Structure 1
């Protein structure tokens, strides 16, 4: 009986170790229209540790986000990365946006983006292409929620499918 318990423990223990080692890679992006500001306002929530790993792998900087030793280059490289991996298209045309900045909330970094001077009456479609972290993590999932003109749509973007659209 004693050997049976040892054998069972030896078989089960690696399963727990694997479960603890596996990580779920996800970001959540909300896209809303502000009538007051006549702008599309976007927030994207990304795990800080994932972004730290990306900064090291892609730019060879130890960003140390949300610490007293945060790199002075972190904001510059973060904006550069977001602009290369996150595209907003209105009525089928890619559009320039303002990268407003970031803040931290527990273990998450929140990025703020705004598309200014959007005429809601002329808006027929909003498309989001989000490849953030898909170059580092093959199983990265970027969840996007769009809420404009009382129309709502959510989608999960993957490395193999990086674009989602809401027709208005």
Structure 2
């Protein structure tokens, strides 16, 4: 009887350790991009939310920059490289042609960096199809998912883009 009690006392901490290690929060890799067409401005206004630590890691691995995002010691060239990265990984096309956009800047909100982009001078009546390619962070994280929400003229469409399927298309 005493041996059984002693065995239980030894096994209990191991069981608790195993249970806690499986129940801890699993890191997920996701970005959310909202694209809304403004009739007043004839522009697509775009916000893209990406986790700060993921973008920080990417800037170090891709460009060798210690960006230290959202800290008092943030690199002065961090935003320049964020824009460079977005231009290589986030592409919008109208009727099969890439569309230029302005990178307006970024701000931080808790653990997320919000990047602001804008496609100006858009005459939606002349656009038949629109595609969005979002490969942000898919080159660093296999599990990365990029959610894209598009709103225009009372319509809404959403895509979940991954490394293997990184482009969503819609008819306007």
Q: Shorter-chain-normalised TM-score: which range?
A: over 0.9
RMSD: 1.5
Provide the residue aligned with 1:56 in structure 2: 60
Superposition deviation, residue 104 in structure 1: 0.8
Looking at CA atoms only, which structure, 1 or 2, has the larger radius of gyration? 2
Report if the CA contact (8 A) 1:146-1:166 is conserved: no
Q: Return the alpha-carbon distance in structure 1 between the equivalents of residues 144 and 8 of structure 2.
A: 40
- 1:99 & 1:81 partners in 2: Cα distance? 11
Which TM-score applies when normalising by structure 2?
A: 0.91
* 2:29 match: 25
TM-score (norm 1): 0.93
Gaps of 5+ in 1: none
SS in 2 for 1:14: helix
Give yes or no for the alignment of 1:111 onto 2:119. no
Q: CA offset at residue 7 of structure 1?
A: 1.9
**Which residue of structure 2 aligns with residue 147 of structure 1?**
151
Deviations 1:95-152 (A, max 9, x none): 1111111111111100011111000211222211000000110000101111112221
In structure 1, the partner of 2:44 is 40
Residue 164 of structure 1 corresponds to 168
Q: CA deviation at 1:93?
A: 1.2
Paired with 2:166 and 2:13, the residues of 1 have a C-alpha distance of 42
